[in-house]
Chain A
Amino acid sequence: MKRIGVFILFLSWIQLGFGQKTIESSVSSRHVGANERFTFEIVINNFECDVMLPNFGGLEVVGGPYQSQSGGSTFENGKSTRIIEVKWTYELRAKEKGTYTISGVTMSCNGDEQISDPIEIEVSEASEIANVDKDSYVLLSTSKDDVYLGEPFTVTLKYYSKAKPESFEQLDLGGAVGIFREDLKPDRKIFQTVPENVDGVRFYTIILREEVCFAESSGELTIDPYYVSALFRRDFFNQYRKESNSNSLKINVKELPRKTAPDFKGLVGDFQIDGEISKNQFLTGDVIDIKITISGVGNFHDLENLDLKIPKSFEQYEPEILNETVITEEGFKGKIEYNFVVIPKEGGNYTIPGYTLQYFDLKSRKMKTAETQEFKIHVDQRDGVKSTPESDPKIITDIQYIEEQSDGFFEQEDFIFGTWTYYGMVSSPLLLSFFFIFFKRKKENLSEDDLLLIQQKKAIKNAQEALKEVQQHLDQGNDAAALKGLQSTINKFFMQKLNVGLSDLSQRSIANRLTTENVSAASIEKFNKIWNAIEMGQYAPIAHENLVQTVNDTQGLLIELDKTL
């Protein structure tokens, strides 16, 4: 908030009558003790003017500015005046005894400037009243005031009060340059009130905060006073606040004898280190797990990443770090695991040197060294993997060579998927299959009439086939066989065409059927003539020429009848 140098106020205001623009500054007390908080107020009665932040003359701003405003009207001599008051409040304190001056506050209104009076503050030593005589006080105490760099010590903030405080409103930590602080009980929710006698006076005491501190620079370090604001209850309806500042603490921090430990990286406490490797025999490309565990107690937060010396030909990844430490009064306690994953790329025997940890041992007040054993690893070349010796780094650091042969070039049109040819090739077997299934099903489901119709249609075809054989017999001069074949052909033709059995087949019955089927009389006569010729031929030899004629007549007749029947 200090950065706010100028307040520019453009809010509108209403002045119904005569009103003067004024600025005033004031403090809650002009005589305060060191570290005691007091308030500084700036009040103006308008919104139109710019106000310049004053110079606090070395006083520390610990709170604010908090802005508030109020308004009201006055009625005087028949004129109504609307008054608006804007107030900024700062919380200030001085760390040391002395005289401090808060400069006047400048208000600029359209070129006119008004300056409030400067205020002088007398700061005396921190309250010299004995604690026992106060109603309440806060005590900051330390477990050690002479420590080594990195050595943990505890700082406790304890509240003493003759009346039992109802609650605590605010706790501000004092500055502590060069000190790393860690709350010992960050999750504390219950603050226990314990009665305690101080020089025969009974106080309620409450431990508000316990923290573990580690000095990070040498010399005399100061922990500035902590500020506590507590609420007390006077009666059922009334509450009051008490603000207190604790004492400050001076800690003397000693340097460590670093010269004897060149690899020392600031660890102070008591530490152990342990190293593990998953196994000692590997193939190239295998994953090697190396685990380094640092356990103990001390300033673990200063532990940096471990720099394990891994052979160059190993592929190395960032270690996975598992922190299992907790804060205790002695510092951080527990262990931190570093899991390294490395992959050997070349065969051979390797040694990963042990990791050395140097720390300052607080018990013996001496530098100590803890180290892991070294790891000896044997790596065999994996079968089928070409060795790439380290002496030829070009192979490792360059791309693979081009391919001399190509499996095959293709163009977009070479894809058969999605083409009409493809769809045809996929669908045609299925369509054919369904066609055949349909055809077969239909054939199986034919009625007797249908079958008869097919038989009748086939009759002429069968007869013509048979007549060809008859013709062959004739050509060979085998008249008897030809006659027999001719008779059989005629019989079969009529059996199929007229759907009658062989026993029902006679010249008369056939002739009658032909008549009823409206066959021409010439054809019926032709039929009778042929039939008679065949019958005659069975009893008496028939001349070859006559037989040839009969066969030709039969052929003609059957074609004629096929058209009619």
Chain B
Amino acid sequence: MKVLLSIISTFIILFSYAQDSSFVKGNEAYSNADYELALSEYSKVVGSEKMSSALYYNLGNTYFKLNEIGEAIWAYEKALKIDPSNENAQYNLKFVNAKTIDGLDTSESGIVSWLRINLFSFSINFWAYLSILFALILAVTLYFFFTTKNQKIKNRNLTLSFTSLFLLVLMIVLAYFNKSGIIDGDQAIIITEFVEMRSSPSDTAPSGFKLHEGTKVDLLRSNDDWTEIGVNGNTGWVEKTAIWEI
């Protein structure tokens, strides 16, 4: 199934992308161990609102080399959001997570992870194009179903119509989740050394407990400078500057 989908994916890639010059410069700087320069070059690409799994993966490596553990975890998480099957990012994320104070392993496992890796590792518009294809098939089969007088062809087209309708809906759902999975940030990484979770959005509010750099948290809601986060069933407010959305 994956091979088949990959073939279709290859056929329907309509856009081609050129290598970004800053990305190439960043790679060169990284290979020369000039990590500050590499960070600056990769940041230019990120600043231009361009994305790619490799970009964030390389950025994660650069942060790690600069001993910025929280930022490195953030970048690997971003890389995996775009391409959940990026094995290098999975490996490095696990490696860097083990270096955090809490030593958390946030890598997913089980059916959800399997689905993510197998369904959302194609090009960003793969499922959208497939849905258009199935809309076309549905249109043709419906036309023949309603216009033909041959009962045999009618039955065949009815089956095809239902199948393509089901697939069309499925593709739309997958396209939706693929896009929202990459675009919507509903989680974040703590990037400061530690942060106090407070009961309300104020410096003077009593603090519950400390979270350390690199911890992955769920974003619940926010106001001007504060965000309410959830981690392991606990909720609390932290300053926005302490977290980076993934």
Interface residue ranges, A against B (CB under 8 Å)? 399-412, 414-418, 422, 425-427, 429-430, 432-434, 436-437, 440-441
Contacts and interface: CB of A to CB of B under 8 A. Distances in A.
B95 interface: yes
B240 interface: no
A417 B52 contact: no
B173 to A, nearest CB: 11
Given A406-B55, A433-B142, A414 B125 contact: yes
Nearest to B60: A399
Contact of A408 (B58, B64, B123, B175): B123
Nearest to A436: B143
Given A399-B92, A425-B135, A417 B179 contact: yes
B72 to A, nearest CB: 9
The 5 closest A-B pairs by CB, nearest first: A429-B139, A408-B17, A433-B139, A406-B54, A403-B54
B51 interface: yes
Contacts of B95: 399
Interface stretch (B105-113, B126-134, B187-195): B126-134
B140 interface: yes
Contacts of A417: 125, 127-128, 175-176, 178-179
Interface in B17-63: 17, 19-20, 23, 27, 30-31, 45, 49-55, 57-58, 61-62
Contact of A407 (B54, B96, B168): B54
A405 B19 contact: yes
Interface of B: 15-17, 19-20, 23, 27, 30-31, 45, 49-55, 57-58, 61-62, 64, 83, 88, 91-92, 95-96, 123-125, 127-129, 131-132, 135-136, 138-140, 142-143, 146-147, 168, 172, 175-176, 178-179, 182-183
Given A399-B64, A437-B142, A408 B16 contact: yes
A31 to B, nearest CB: 59
B138 A429 contact: yes
A178 B225 CA distance: 60
Chain B interface main SS type: helix
A402 B30 contact: yes
Q: Which of A404, A432, A441 has the most chain B CB atoms closer than 10 A to its own CB?
A: A404
Given A403-B57, A405-B54, A408-B17, A422 B128 contact: yes
A39 B207 CA distance: 49
A410 B183 contact: no
Contacts of B64: 399
B183 A412 contact: yes
A437 B146 contact: yes
Nearest to A408: B17
A425 B52 contact: no
18 contacts: A399-B96, A400-B88, A401-B88, A402-B54, A406-B54, A407-B52, A407-B54, A408-B123, A409-B17, A410-B50, A414-B124, A415-B124, A416-B128, A417-B125, A417-B128, A425-B132, A426-B172, A432-B139
